[in-house]
Amino acid sequence: MSEKTRVAILISGRGSNMAALIAAAKEKDYPAEIALVVSNRPEAEGLKTAQARGIQTAVLDHKQAGSREAFDGALHQLLVQQNIQLICLAGFMRLLTPGFVMSWEGRIINIHPSLLPAFKGIDAHAQTLAAGVKITGCTVHIVEPEMDSGPILAQAAVPVLPGDTEETLAARVLQAEHRLYPMALWLYLTGQAFPSDETDMLISA
Ligand code: GAR
């Protein structure tokens, strides 16, 4: 069997998507191993979760970094040092510089809690409710320099229900995220999800 892809997960907070990826990667036949979890915030809850599961963690505090370029330079060095082959953003609330994204072209994946290209940014659920749409969901995509953009690998649809608040909607979408992200990573690594307009996949997670 071929070797597993060494994946680093970048987080900023809770890390529930990270935990879903770690759980999936425990399976013998899963094509990735989670080799490292990096947080830009020392207090991120997800760091403890990763440590409890025996995953190596690192903190790169963006407040200490000086500049965006310096932060991304240190991140790049760390990832190269750890022989990381693919990066999964999981609630990583920081825009990466175009230089960093280009040097990891096609090797950074993100999950976003909406059906992109709708509702980019940090307040996806508020935007969803304000727009009055009846179906939302989550998207796993290849990262390009512009925020929440790039070829879509997989999406899951989730209903917006009457009376939903940002919290109730976020919780329902999060459940779909936890199913979609491990599946999308698996599909990508096994050549079954292609980052092109012609072959985007829609998964009902
Ligand atoms: C998730 O809902 C993720 O999709 C979202 O932040 C949450 C992180 O939760 N990411 C974005 O909004 C990125 N634009 P988690 O830390 O429990 O995985």
3-state secondary structure string across 133-179? CCEEEEEEEECCCCCCCCCEEEEEEEECCCCCCHHHHHHHHHHHHHH
Q: Are residues 116 and 86 in the same domain?
A: no
**Residue whose CA is at the smallest distance from ligand 1 atom 6:** 91
What ligand 1 atom has the least distance to the C-alpha of 174?
A: 2
Query: Based on the domain organization, do 121 and 176 belong to the same domain?
Result: yes
pLDDT, tens only, 107-164 = 999 999 999 999 999 999 999 999 999 999 999 999 999 999 999 999 999 999 999 9
Task: Tell me, yes or no, whether 115 and 36 share the same domain.
Answer: no
For residue 53, the tally of other CB atoms under 10 A from its CB is 15
Q: Looking at 73, 104, 135, which one is the last position of a domain?
A: 104
| Among 58, 82, 104, residue at a domain's last position | 104
100/115 same-domain check: no
Total number of domains constituting the chain: 2
Indicate if ligand 1 lies below 6 Å from the C-beta of 113: yes
Atom of ligand 1 nearest to the CA of 46: 16
Range of the domain at 151: 110-205
Most confident by average pLDDT, 65-74, 172-181, 194-203: 172-181
1, 100: one domain: yes
Choose one of 9, 10, 17 to mutate for the ligand 1 pocket test, by most ligand atoms within 8 angstroms of C-beta: 17
User: Same domain for 79 and 119?
Assistant: no
Q: Is 77 helix (H, G, I), strand (E, B) or coil?
A: helix
Cα 123 to averaged position of ligand 1 atoms, centre (Å):
10
Are 121 and 36 part of one and the same domain? no
Instruction: Give mean pLDDT, residues 24-39.
Output: 97
Q: At residue 200, does pLDDT exceed 50?
A: no
Q: What is the pTM of this model?
A: 0.94
* Selected catalytic residue, list 62, 112, 141, 178: 112
pLDDT at res. 198? 46
Other beta carbons within 10 Å of 25: 22
Among residues 67, 85, 104, the one where a domain terminates is: 104
Same domain, yes or no: 145 and 93: no
